[in-house]
Amino acid sequence: MGNREFAALLYEAADLMELQGIDWKPQAYRKAARAIESLERDISDILKQSGRKELQEIPGVGEGIASHIEEFLRSGRVKKFDEVRKSLPPGIGELLELEGLGPKKAALLLKKLRVRGLADLKKALGAGKLRSLEGFGEKSEENLRKALELHERGKERMLLGEALPLAEELLDYLRPHAERLDYAGSLRRMQETIGDIDILAQSGRPSGVMEAFIAFPRVERVLAHGATKSSVLLREGIQVDLRVIPAGSYGAALQYFTGSKEHNVALRAIAAKRGLRLSEYGLFKGEKLLAGRSEEEVYRKLGFPLIPAEMREDRGELAGTKPPELVELRDMRGDLHAHTTFSDGISAVEEMALAAKSKGYEYLAITDHSQAERIARGLSEERLEEQWKELSRVEKRVGIRLLRGAEISIQNDGSLDYPERVLKKLEVTVCSIHSGFKMPKEKMTERILAALDNKYCDILGHPTGRLLNRRAPYEADMQRVFEEAVEERKILELDGHPERLDLSDAHALAARKLGAKFSLSTDSHAAAHLGYMRFAVGQARRGWLTKGDVVNALHLKGLRKVFPRMRD
């Protein structure tokens, strides 16, 4: 533990130093913070097991930051950061969270108007003091007022599951005005949450796309409106940037705006080493354009195959080895986690079966809640048997294999919420934690390990229990959980429900390295939710999973070897 906390300290220190006019160091801090944040291993483990030298293996971490990490892990604080904090008013960092206000202007506000935080800024705005400052005018006052308002409304990152449909709607709307349209950025990389939506267009009449864009019915405010770039804020609270790109640079621009920033920095460094220059306009040797029309061409000229967008995180995808053949949505043969009206779902068994069938699936596991989940109308033994009759009936009618399954709660002591005589009749079980989230880490870890050791546990459901933007994962030693799962040949779920995406991409990556197998599921509570599979696949691809890592990419025959209680 501690990676996120330490990264947060680095970010804070970077902001404050920038306010003080310190050059470069803030960038270095942020770079290190990003690396530490996305690390699979805990910095405390690294220090304990391998020592300080190993900390410096983290990209962007050198002697200085390594010693700060050591101090932080030892004492929970970093003296140097404390000093920086003390040298500035406590509320000053908040100012930088405002749209359009950066370190230079914030420093000026502090120096000339003694603005020490958001409250001060509000007062200064009210008194009309800002326009007297050099570099400020009426317009900047107005913008700050709006930024302040927006900030107060609270701004969380939007879930992938909300942003993607929104972007698709906008693309459909813009299609008549452009020859080519793509969304780029974190959305294209299928990151679990999205800061803003980036859209690229190629058009013979750029002004036409721009006019249409700012007239999109969901637009609340136009933030910028130029010849090649415009930005709007949608009513849903997310910013959308649109850029119009000429055909000859379209691929380079798509590459550039897809990111990630870290991936691009690494790729540009590789280009630079070869005496080339990569920008959103193309790959250049001197003035000569070598590539730009397509992404593939850009990567090829740099000696790489087309790297899937989901892998572009500078996690080793540019190391030169051939990237793995990532799992695709069309590889999926079934879904192993779905609820029906028997428990807390809103679609009947038959509706679920029909929806699964229409996706071309061979099978669907019906996994309603176990008896203890009263709120979710968990199934008693009798109701479960009733359900099995229904499954047999629908199975014949619809022509899709319905597995007798259950999502079984893992109780506080690690036992499963059905007696053995029931468990052995279930073809597949998803075992999940639904209560007792606040256990100490050691106890929680033991609880999960005990469940994994149960011979009737097949799949560990939403393994960390997190809800994006709402609930932190429970404390558990996930590395040990993954090791045990591999040892006991248990399957890890990658739950594609937009609020869960659990396992996360980083966890999937770590577990895959240990040789784990995965179930990409939707945790559907309605027939339409079966469509969440694309989010599960997106996270799986971010975790470098191949078709071979995913059990429900297997045909029925292969699946039987994974789940021995499955009937013929």
Partner DNA sequence: GCCGTTTTCGGCCCGACTGTTTTCAGTCG
Place of tokens 């967008």: 309
How many residues interact with DNA (rule CB under 7 A)?
Answer: 58
Site membership for DNA, residue 91 (CB under 7 A)? no
- Is residue 83 within the footprint of DNA (CB under 7 A)? no
Instruction: Figure out which of the listed residues 196, 296, 362, 446 binds DNA, where binding follows CB under 7 A.
Output: 196
- 149 sits in which H/E element: helix 138-152
The DSSP output letter for 437 is: T
Rounded CA gap, 345 and 216, in Å? 35
Question: With CB under 7 A as the contact rule, which of the stretches 220-228, 455-463, 485-493, 545-553 interacts with DNA?
Answer: 220-228
- C-alpha to C-alpha distance for 389 and 90, rounded to whole angstroms: 65
Which of residues 59, 93, 324, 436 is near DNA by CB under 7 A?
59
106 binds DNA (CB under 7 A): yes
Pick 241 or 475: Cβ nearer DNA: 241
Q: Determine phi and psi for 157, rounding to 5 degrees.
A: -70, 140
DSSP 8-state symbol, 156: P
Cα separation, 146 vs 157, whole angstroms: 19
Site for DNA in 305-334 (CB under 7 A): none
The answer to whether 73 and 43 have CB atoms below 8 angstroms apart is yes
Q: Is 407 helix (H, G, I), strand (E, B) or coil?
A: strand
Q: By CB under 7 A, tell whether 279 contacts DNA.
A: yes
Sheet holding 196-202, edge to edge: 180-183, 196-202, 239-244, 229-234, 219-225
Radius of gyration of the chain (CA): 26
Does 518 contact DNA by CB under 7 A?
Answer: no
Pick between residue 39 and residue 101 the one whose CB is nearest to DNA. 101
Q: Taking a C-beta distance cutoff of 8 angstroms, is the pair 178, 201 a contact?
A: yes
Q: Is 33 in the site for DNA (CB under 7 A)?
A: no
Alpha-carbon span 11 to 26, nearest angstrom: 8
Residue 23 token pair: 């050059």
Closest separation between CB of residue 387 and DNA, Å? 49
B/e letters for 75-89, b = 16+ CB within 10 Å, e = fewer, are eeebeebeebbeebe
Which residues, numbered 115-134, are part of the site for DNA (CB under 7 A)? 131, 134
Residue of 52, 80, 441, 513 that binds DNA (CB under 7 A): 80
Q: Please tell me whether residue 112 binds DNA under the rule CB under 7 A.
A: no
Report 238-257 residues binding DNA (CB under 7 A). 239, 241, 257
- In the chain, the amino acid numbered 336 is L
Q: Which stretch binds DNA (CB under 7 A): 115-123, 136-144, 412-420, 559-567?
A: 136-144
Task: State which of positions 138-167 bind DNA (CB under 7 A).
Answer: 138-141, 143
> Residue 219 interacts with DNA (CB under 7 A)?
no
What burial class does residue 425 get, using C-beta atoms within 10 Å of its C-beta: 0-12 exposed, 13-18 middle, 19+ buried? middle
CB 293, min distance to DNA, A = 18
For residue 137, state whether it binds DNA (rule: CB under 7 A). Answer: yes
A 10 A CB-CB count for 553 gives 24
Q: CB pairs under 8 A, 24+ apart, for 504-507?
A: 504/192, 504/464, 504/466, 504/539, 505/192, 505/539, 505/542, 505/543, 506/38, 506/40, 506/543, 507/40, 507/463, 507/464, 507/478, 507/482, 507/543
Return the residue of 198, 458, 493, 495 that touches DNA, per CB under 7 A.
198
Angle at alpha carbon of residue 233, lines to 227 and 234, rounded to 5°: 120
* Residue with Cβ nearer DNA (165 or 226): 226
Q: How far is the CB of 505 from DNA (least distance, A)?
A: 21
Pairwise CA distance, residues 286 & 12, whole Å: 39
- Answer for which of 20, 228, 392, 435 binds DNA (CB under 7 A) is 228
Among 8, 119, 247, 272, binds DNA (CB under 7 A): 272
Residue written as token pair 């007696």: 419
Q: Does 181 bind DNA (CB under 7 A)?
A: no
Give 239 or 454: the residue with its C-beta nearer to DNA.
239
Q: Site for DNA (CB under 7 A): which residue of 32, 160, 327, 406?
A: 32
The packing angle between helices 478-487 and 441-453, to 10°, is 10
Q: Which is nearer to DNA, 61 or 530 (CB)?
A: 61
Q: Does 66 bind DNA (CB under 7 A)?
A: yes
Q: Which of 123, 229, 393, 396 binds DNA (CB under 7 A)?
A: 229
Q: Which is nearer to DNA, 269 or 528 (CB)?
A: 269
Q: Which is nearer to DNA, 216 or 456 (CB)?
A: 216
Cβ atoms 26, 14 nearer than 8 A = yes
Question: Which residue lies nearer to DNA by CB, 195 or 323?
Answer: 195
Q: Which of 6, 29, 183, 299 binds DNA (CB under 7 A)?
A: 29
Counting contacts by CB under 7 A, is residue 438 touching DNA?
no
Decide whether 269 or 375 has the Cβ nearer to DNA: 269
Residue 70 is a binding residue for DNA (CB under 7 A):
no
What angle, rounded to 10 degrees, do the helices at 63-75 and 43-50 form? 100
Structure tokens at 153: 């409304």
Rounded to 10 degrees, the C-alpha dihedral 352/353/355/356 comes to: 110
Choices 64-72, 314-322, 503-511, 542-550 (CB under 7 A): range interacting with DNA: 64-72
Residues 377 and 343 sit within 8 Å (Cβ to Cβ):
yes
Chain contacts with DNA (rule: CB under 7 A):
23-25, 27-29, 32, 56, 59-66, 80, 98-106, 131, 134-141, 143, 185, 196, 198, 224-230, 239, 241, 257, 261, 265, 268, 272-273, 277, 279-281
